[in-house]
Amino acid sequence: MIESVASPRAIIVRGAGIASAESSKLQIADVAVEDGVITRLGEDIGDCEGAIELDGRGKVLLPGLFDMHVYSREPGEEWKETIQSGTEAAINGGITGVVTMPNTVPAVDNGGMVQSVLEIAGRSSRIPLFAAGCITKDRGGRDLAAIADMREKGAVLITDGGVPVSNALVLRRAMEYARDFDLLVGSHCETMELSGKGAMNEGAVSFRLGIPGMPACGEEICLARDLRLAQFTGARVHLQHVSTARGLNTIRRYKNEGVKVSCAVTPHHLIFNEADVGDYNTHFKMSPPLRTEEDNARLIEGLKEGVFDVIATDHAPHANFEKAQDFASAPFGITGLETALVSLYHYFVRKEVFGWDVIVKHYSAGPRSLLKLPPAEIREGAAANFVLFDPDKTTTFTRDSMKSMSSNTPFLNCELNGSVEHVVLNDRLLK
């Protein structure tokens, strides 16, 4: 493997299949990067003195991915993850930009905290990191956070992370403020009175296992409320990690009515369902919980149809001792930055359930567009920002191979088809 190079003179990728959001077909071409810019793209583009050459034959070159739902754990819980370890995990998975959630200690609920997170990232991250701020102070759901101050300091969206804003009036006021600042509002949809002490999807499997359940209607009721508030206020609202078919149908209807709503789906809600919890494996415990096999199928349809705007991991690192508790006591959440692209290839692209265009559209272009950031494009004149993926290799996710400080993933010690070989960002070969 080529080591990370700070500023090579040039990088040439030979004969790769270039993926785009516009077509499921790959364009075979060479790509030359000089001084961080793609200067030539085509067949037999020639040589460049002193260039690092990457063999792209039989491989896929796709724009750098962007994950807009990541928990960095810094400041406050650095024993789970730091901004440095989290962004290195992102690079390992082919991700060249992230948005970190405000669930830190203290919470990111004011401009000073936004600035602090961005300063840490400036010192320790090799990829762009953007900060989300809280909707309410300390994520308490009662008093609005310093929305204007956070926006001024660089927050790209507001959300209370893994908890809903249960007070509808407070959420309405937040949406009105956010609308005036053209700030995206991220919503975790959950009716806490219904989910209670639940630990997995409520249904036949939870009853059989004796695990308290979280009914799908608890997510769907909150989702419908937030959509109606978005319609009323005119705010831009983003529904995070949608997990049910009924919820997706509701989103489709509001989108057709012109409401400014976007939504995300996680790889784990596409791949796994409640049956995977079978042996009380806490790596399958997340919020919202894994739903039914039927929900899997409908979510995949929604992604292919374009109802979903974004794929995001909801990367939530936890220490081994936390996940080693009994299922009801263990924390919600799994890691995903390093496994997302490989797992999406293994389960879907390889089996022709959907093509590379779906991944580029929803895991690169979509989130950047929502946040009004420049796109990652593989074309002449664009800044270099791409991933070289080898579909013929395999990846085994082990504690030693992963860059995240936490390994709470169902894919631990599993071998999947596909491998993230190289990551190029501007004039740097990051991997």
Angle between helices 245-256 and 293-305 (to 10 degrees): 30
The DSSP code for 357 is: H
- Which region holds residue 426: left if phi is over 0, alpha if psi is between -120 and 50, else beta? left
HSE-up (13 A, CA, CB side) for residue 82: 11
What's the rounded Cα separation, in Å, for the pair 206 and 180? 44
Angle subtended at Cα 227 by Cα 225 and Cα 230, rounded to the nearest 5 degrees? 110
Q: Does residue 314 carry a catalytic annotation?
A: yes
**Distance separating alpha carbons of residues 277 and 323, to the nearest angstrom:** 14
Tell me which of 30, 314, 390, 427 is the catalytic residue.
Answer: 314
Closest residue by Cα to residue 154 from 120, 113, 106: 113
Q: With the C-alpha atoms ordered 343, 349, 354, 359, is the resulting torsion angle positive or negative?
A: positive
Measuring CA to CA, how many Å separate 53 from each of 36, 43, 383, 420?
Answer: 15, 15, 18, 17
Amino acid (1-letter code) at residue 393 = K
Q: CB under 8 Å to 404, separation ≥6 — which residues?
A: 81, 85, 86, 88, 89, 315, 317, 335, 337, 338
Q: Which of 92, 117, 87 is nearest to 102 (CA)?
A: 117
Catalytic residues: 314
